[in-house]
Chains A and B, each alone.
Chain A
Amino acid sequence: MIGASLPRPDAVGKVTGATAYPGDLVRAGMAHLAVVYAGRPHARIRHIDTSAARALPGVLAVLTAADVPFNRFGLIDADAPVLCDDVVRYVGDRVALVVADDPASARAATALVRVDYEDLPLVGDVHAALHPDAPLLHPHRPGNIVHRLQIRRGDPDRGFAEADIVLSETFRTSWQEHAFLQPEAGVAWVDDDGRIVVETAGQWLHEDRRQIAAMLRLPEDRVVVRYAAIGGAFGGREDLGVQHLLALAAWVCRRHVALVWRRDESMATRHKRHPFTIETRWGARRDGTITAVAARLLADGGAYASTSQEVVKIATLFATGCYEVANVALEGLALYTNNVPSGAFRGFGSPQAQFASESMVTRLARALGIDPVEMRRRNLYREGSIEPSGEPLPPGVSVRACLDAVVDELARQPQSAPPAGWRRGWGVACGIKNVGYSFGYPEQATATVELSGADVIERAVVRTGVADVGQGSHLAMRQIAAAALGLALGQVHLISDDSAATPDAGSASASRLTLVAGRAVHDAALAALARWHDEERPACATVQFRPRATTPLAAADGAGRPNYCYGYTAQALEVDVDPATGACRVVTIISAHDVGRAINRQQVEGQIEGALAQALGYALMEEFQMRDGQVRTAGFSTYLLPTALDMAPRIIPLILEHADDQGPFGARGMSEMPLVPFAPALAAAIHDATGAWLSRQPMTPERVRAAVRRATAGEEQP
């Protein structure tokens, strides 16, 4: 049962078209919503005139800020207005909501909502946000700072003085769009018990419920959130998208309402992966020992807080990658700008930070004439290593084993030549990413297991609010329960998609569900089994699992215990580069992951391969662009996603199973990790092939070609 590549029960509906996604829930007779967006990045609302829109035939209502009982929402800091009342802070801000009999009338009416704006000065990027005279986007946030932290350890000045070589570089990363294939949609109504019911897609039933209840000033038990089939998420459904808009309209209008977003609405208004500018300096001795790291990380948080404060903390913590460094001086800053909000995206700050850190390790190795793998081995974390925050790592530090596995596999690779005129290179990188919530954020999952039968257990019903965003968490939960109970999979029934019928399992994020919710299911199954043996019929148990506590980081030096579990990875990429055009083709990917224990091997490999495609897109081609606060890439015609032809034809996933001490059957999370080392491994491969260093991603043909030209010119100098 555990480790078996059981095929997914949900696949039948998905291959026949029977599965209902949120956009498939629309029924005749429902009222339709359409959103009036700000369309300008920073302006004061002088007046909103909805009379013409209301007069349009078919329009039932036009809602504005005055219709929202509590007009703020947000995952951590409720700083975003549901409908803007005074100021709009990015183009995707919502100003009004039209409710109409049909979608066409709703959309037509949006053009008739007249908003009188007074434009305000633009805060177009982090540098503008930091300017002493910059306008404050949120008056209670001095300096436009969402969050600032510093982590200091040892004596950085002495560390750099002891170094035989010191290298500095500035790295830049772009926004990344989640581009889950199913645009946001849903339906909502008020049921016969007076509860507001929202059926949609998200990543955390109970958090959606909390925010909707807060907005409507209702007790949480008056709000029901249900998830239909979820068409991908990757962090992009963590912030509320359509959930609260549906709830508001249904509540105010007392109608069944539906909202189906277009792709451009999704892309121009939802949060993205944070763009970072990372200025960093690394010192090392001749023998390869890293003596000091300094880094300043600037993240564009966009118009609202979203999860910026957590992302910048994670990025800053990983500014030294997975290397033990005695002397560090790290500063992280997330800033408000008039850009689209940045928030959660698979990897959550780790890919940005380790693009810089892994690239620096490779550059130091090259500068010192040490093999980059050997350079890593001299500095990589080992059991008991101290994190920048000053505490030993949680047990199970397996990054060296991941690197060893990659190096062994590398030695077995067949030799072949690149196409004529192209150059081939290999690059290696390692990675670390936390599993679960960090920095003292309350971490728990709760599950209920009920066993029934006559003489023997015939059926188990598992209840836990786990979102299956496509990763296969539902099958994993059932496999865990079946294994704990000694039942066949078909005897285990899972209820997971209704906030009123399930206990809170936390979010489908931070690679946490298998470990945290899986352990809750496992423990609840064993507790129910004990009651079964005590002759309880049916035998029922509810268990809340809480992993080891974490702590906030101290303001002065960042001291603390940030995480309870890490996932480790190493990768090698074989890359062909055309020096004439700068085009890159990833030929082979070797990707090693310590997953603790694979609950479903096929699904683990699927997560690795899928994350690698997102990593390839992020590293090579995906570049969400904004200029002067306007989105330039609001569709798949301008925002390029990897196709089957772009993806590397050879993927070699290596699954290591060093049991985690908290996870069910030793499992630990893994879904984000493949994204972490990819871009620096690609940059290392490009350097191996051409001698050019890339410090900005995506590494588009134009940037690669320019870097190759610079490198070639440099070689020709005396």
Chain B
Amino acid sequence: MSTITVTVNGKAHTSTVEPRTLLVHYLREHLNLTGTHIGCDTSQCGACVVHVDGKSIKACTVLAVQVDGASVTTIEGLAPAGELHPLQEGFWECHGLQCGYCTPGMIMAAADLLQQNPNPSDDEVRHGLEGNLCRCTGYHNIVRAVQYAAAKMRGDEVTA
């Protein structure tokens, strides 16, 4: 067993984990943060995307021991309690979800994308979300939702 200290959504956690524990299982099973989903087990679907030190990663590709000392943000910590991040608002307003299972990973991947490129083209949004599968929406409204958030974060006028 290994002892790790991880800051998750601004709160420090010291935990004992098996060395083989994946970050996604640590978040879901040790910390009960079930907003990070498991969809494929093989790192294709992106439902488990979280931020480690500000960068998006698939939490099924990283061991919990690898984030010892790091800062992790999950969908639960993207916005202050009681508020919605512009991306969360965008996915709601633009009907960017149906079953919603891909949504947390999609939003976390999009948040990293917008940090790097605050004014992406639709094509750049599609490239940025290529590692996240959605089986419900056809992606069209997901692109719109990301553009809604991008505009809002730039301070532009937004339309759903």
For chain B residues 63-77, which have a beta carbon within 8 Å of chain A? 74-76
> Which residue of A5, A14, A19, A636 contacts B42 across the interface (Cβ within 8 Å)?
A636
A647–B140 CB distance below 8 A? yes
B135–A179 CB distance below 8 A? yes
B85's closest neighbor in chain A, by CB? A15
> Which residue of A15, A645, A649 contacts B91 across the interface (Cβ within 8 Å)?
A15
For chain B residues 99-157, which have a beta carbon within 8 Å of chain A? 99-104, 107, 122-123, 125-127, 129-143
Tell me if A470 is interfacial: C-beta within 8 Å of chain B: yes
Please, which residues of chain B bring their CB within 8 A of the CB of A8?
92, 95, 97
Max chain B Cβ within 10 angstroms of own Cβ: one of A10, A610, A645: A610
Tell me if A435 is interfacial: C-beta within 8 Å of chain B: no
Q: Give the B interface residue count (CB, 8 A).
A: 55
Please, which residues of chain B bring their CB within 8 A of the CB of A178?
135
A17–B75 CB distance below 8 A? yes
Question: What is the 8 Å Cβ interface bit string for chain A, positions 123-134, against chain B (1 contact, 0 not)?
Answer: 000000000000
- Nearest chain B CB to A238's CB is how many angstroms away? 16
B98–A471 CB distance below 8 A? yes
Tell me if A396 is interfacial: C-beta within 8 Å of chain B: no
Given contacts A613-B137, A614-B135, A644-B129, are A635 and B95 in contact (CB under 8 A)?
no
For chain A residues 152-201, which have a beta carbon within 8 Å of chain B? 178-183
- Nearest chain B CB to A59's CB is how many angstroms away? 20
Tell me if B44 is interfacial: C-beta within 8 Å of chain A: yes
Please, which residues of chain A bring their CB within 8 A of the CB of B126?
643-645, 647, 649
Please, which residues of chain B bring their CB within 8 A of the CB of A647?
126, 138-140
A21's closest neighbor in chain B, by CB? B101
Given contacts A7-B92, A644-B125, A644-B129, are A16 and B75 in contact (CB under 8 A)?
yes
Please, which residues of chain A bring their CB within 8 A of the CB of B93?
7
Bound: A518/B80 CA distance, A:
38
> Which residue of A20, A470, A608 contacts B99 across the interface (Cβ within 8 Å)?
A470
Instruction: Give the interface segment out of A216-224, A226-234, A276-284, A302-310.
Output: A226-234
Tell me if A609 is interfacial: C-beta within 8 Å of chain B: yes
B136–A17 CB distance below 8 A? no
Bound: A17/B47 CA distance, A:
11
Q: Give the A interface residue count (CB, 8 A).
A: 57
A641–B37 CB distance below 8 A? no
A19's closest neighbor in chain B, by CB? B100
A644–B44 CB distance below 8 A? no
B47–A181 CB distance below 8 A? yes
- Nearest chain A CB to B20's CB is how many angstroms away? 10
- Nearest chain B CB to A104's CB is how many angstroms away? 9
- Nearest chain A CB to B34's CB is how many angstroms away? 4
Bound: A24/B36 CA distance, A:
10
Tell me if A482 is interfacial: C-beta within 8 Å of chain B: no
- Nearest chain B CB to A637's CB is how many angstroms away? 5
- Nearest chain B CB to A643's CB is how many angstroms away? 5
> Which residue of B133, B139, B143 contacts A181 across the interface (Cβ within 8 Å)?
B133
For chain A residues 13-35, which have a beta carbon within 8 Å of chain B? 13-21, 23-24
Given contacts A606-B137, A649-B122, are A182 and B75 in contact (CB under 8 A)?
no
Bound: A14/B35 CA distance, A:
8
Given contacts A15-B84, A181-B39, A610-B136, are A472 and B130 in contact (CB under 8 A)?
no
Bound: A179/B133 CA distance, A:
10
Please, which residues of chain A bring their CB within 8 A of the CB of B97?
8, 11, 14-15
Given contacts A15-B97, A17-B75, are A635 and B92 in contact (CB under 8 A)?
no
Given contacts A263-B40, A606-B141, are A181 and B101 in contact (CB under 8 A)?
yes
Tell me if B56 is interfacial: C-beta within 8 Å of chain A: no
> Which residue of B28, B36, B131, B140 contacts A651 across the interface (Cβ within 8 Å)?
B140
B95–A232 CB distance below 8 A? no
A609–B100 CB distance below 8 A? no
Given A15-B104, A181-B45, A613-B135, 7 more A-B residue pairs with CB atoms under 8 Å apart are: A12-B92, A181-B39, A181-B135, A229-B99, A609-B140, A641-B133, A647-B139
Residues of B within 8 A of A (CB): 28, 33-42, 44-45, 47, 74-76, 79, 84, 87-89, 91-93, 95, 97-104, 107, 122-123, 125-127, 129-143
Q: List 24 A-B contacts (CB under 8 A).
A: A11-B100, A14-B100, A14-B103, A15-B104, A17-B74, A17-B76, A20-B34, A24-B34, A179-B133, A181-B47, A181-B134, A229-B100, A231-B100, A232-B136, A234-B135, A263-B40, A603-B95, A609-B139, A610-B136, A612-B138, A613-B134, A636-B45, A641-B44, A644-B132
